[in-house]
């Protein structure tokens, strides 16, 4: 199974003509409350593509926590993934404008309370996984512990450091696949003192960043660039360039999670990197052409029709 560490959040999103400015109240055209969180998106995305999925999500004991169990059942995910803590469930608030651009803030809530003890309790499931996926809606100590267990058992790991913070060296050292978007690539560049092109840079301009990241542990660095597609640089190999699929973008929220789920499933199925990248980009495109994330994550049929063009 793919093991997904954290996170579950109640995701609120408002559709607006343009993103609100400081101090301003806008009327929204639509409002959506859906089960979300990067961990849930990855788990649902992978499950819908046919992968067996396990994992660990923290939820609270408030009203929002009641969204979790039905969401997991609906997605055919094991409810044993949920670990309940007293206190608030994670929650996010996002805005999407008419051009499909978005901004959001996420409060981690119970996700931040998952720590080494809860991760160790799932150690057997982690050691038996095909791939362990983490993002930064979970805390450093939980991610480090999960990756330490995976590393010790020879299980491959994937990190999407979002929301961005600089990963501690021990996490990078035990990361196999590092997936970053343009914002995270720029933040890594700034933290590591490596130049990163702003906006539409040539693929070769990301070589220095990919090299600096590969030197810190990962064996594959993937950089997603929205409508410009994605780049992938394996250790010891050249940079691969994957263009985006042409779609009418309605809501870019969740594109990165869909991409990462597609990449993880495809690599876990043993597909070559170039094919896996193409499938990942198709999954991202499936999500941006629809509003919301949960229902937009593609199943195998939706993926196949996007791949067929």
Q: Of the candidates 7, 58, 60, which has an alpha carbon nearest to the alpha carbon of residue 36?
A: 7
Should residue 247 be labelled a site residue for ligand ADP when binding is judged by CB under 6 A? yes
Tokens of 77: 């995910």
| Distance of closest approach, residue 256 Cβ to ligand ADP, in angstroms | 2
256 binds ligand ADP (CB under 6 A): yes
How many residues touch ligand ADP under the rule CB under 6 A: the total is 19
Q: How many residues can be counted in the chain?
A: 309
Nearest-approach distance from CB 169 to ligand ADP, in angstroms:
24
Residue 259 in contact with ligand ADP, rule: CB under 6 A: yes
76 is catalytic: no
Beta carbons within 10 angstroms of residue 243's beta carbon: 12
Helix (H) or strand (E) holding 201: none
Interface with ligand ADP includes 102 (CB under 6 A)?
no
Composition of the chain by helix, strand, coil, percent to 5: 40, 20, 40
Q: Annotated catalytic residue: which of 54, 61, 62, 257?
A: 257
| Torsion angle defined by CA atoms of residues 173, 174, 177 and 180, in that order, rounded to the nearest 10 degrees | -60
Stretch that binds ligand ADP, among 187-195, 209-217, 248-256, 297-305 (CB under 6 A): 248-256
Backbone angles phi, psi at 175, to 5 degrees: -90, 130
CB closer to ligand ADP out of 178 and 288:
288
d(CA 74, CA 44): 10
71: CB partners within 8 A, 6+ apart: 8, 35, 40, 44, 294
253 is in an annotated binding site: yes
Under the binding rule (CB under 6 A), the answer on residue 220 touching ligand ADP is: no
User: Is 96 within any annotated ligand binding site?
Assistant: no
In this structure, what DSSP letter does residue 6 have? Answer: -
| Binding of ligand ADP by 249 (CB under 6 A) | yes
What mask, x for binding ligand ADP by CB under 6 A, covers residues 165 to 194? ----------------x-------------
CA distances from 255 to 197, 288, 293 (A): 21, 6, 8
Q: Which residues bind ligand ADP (CB under 6 A)?
A: 181, 224-227, 229-230, 244-245, 247, 249, 252, 255-256, 259, 281, 284-285, 288
Residues placed in the known binding site for ATP: 181, 224-229, 256-257
Catalytic residue IDs:
257
Residues placed in the known binding site: 37-41, 137, 181, 224-229, 251, 253, 256-257, 287, 290, 292
């Amino acid at each position: 199974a793919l093991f997904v560490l954290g996170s579950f959040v109640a995701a609120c999103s408002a559709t607006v003509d343009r993103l609100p400015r400081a101090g301003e109240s806008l009327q929204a055209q639509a409002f959506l409350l859906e089960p979300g969180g990067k961990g849930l998106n990855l788990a649902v995305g992978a499950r819908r593509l046919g992968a067996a999925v396990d994992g660990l999500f923290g939820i609270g004991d408030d009203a929002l926590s009641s969204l979790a169990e039905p969401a997991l059942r609906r997605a055919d995910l094991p409810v044993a993934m949920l670990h309940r803590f007293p206190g608030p469930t994670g929650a996010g608030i996002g805005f999407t404008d008419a051009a499909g651009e978005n901004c959001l803030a996420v409060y981690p809530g119970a996700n931040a309370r998952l720590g080494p003890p809860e991760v160790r309790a799932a150690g057997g499931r982690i050691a038996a996984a095909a791939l362990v996926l983490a993002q930064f809606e979970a805390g450093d100590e939980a991610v480090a512990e999960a990756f330490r267990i995976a590393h010790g058992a020879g299980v491959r790991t994937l990190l999407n450091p979002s929301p961005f913070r600089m990963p501690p060296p021990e996490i990078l050292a035990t990361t196999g696949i590092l997936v970053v978007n343009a914002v995270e690539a720029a933040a890594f560049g700034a933290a590591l003192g490596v130049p990163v092109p702003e906006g539409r840079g040539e693929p070769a301009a990301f070589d220095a960043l990919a090299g600096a990241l590969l030197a810190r542990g990962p064996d594959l660095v993937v950089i997603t660039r929205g409508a410009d597609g994605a780049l992938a640089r394996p250790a010891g190999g050249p940079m691969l360039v994957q263009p985006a699929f042409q779609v009418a973008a309605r809501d870019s929220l969740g594109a990165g999670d869909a991409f990462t789920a597609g990449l993880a499933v495809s690599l876990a199925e043993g597909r070559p990197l170039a094919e896996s990248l193409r499938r990942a980009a198709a999954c991202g495109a499936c999500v941006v052409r629809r509003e919301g994330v949960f229902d937009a994550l593609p199943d195998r049929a939706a993926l196949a029709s996007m791949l067929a063009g």
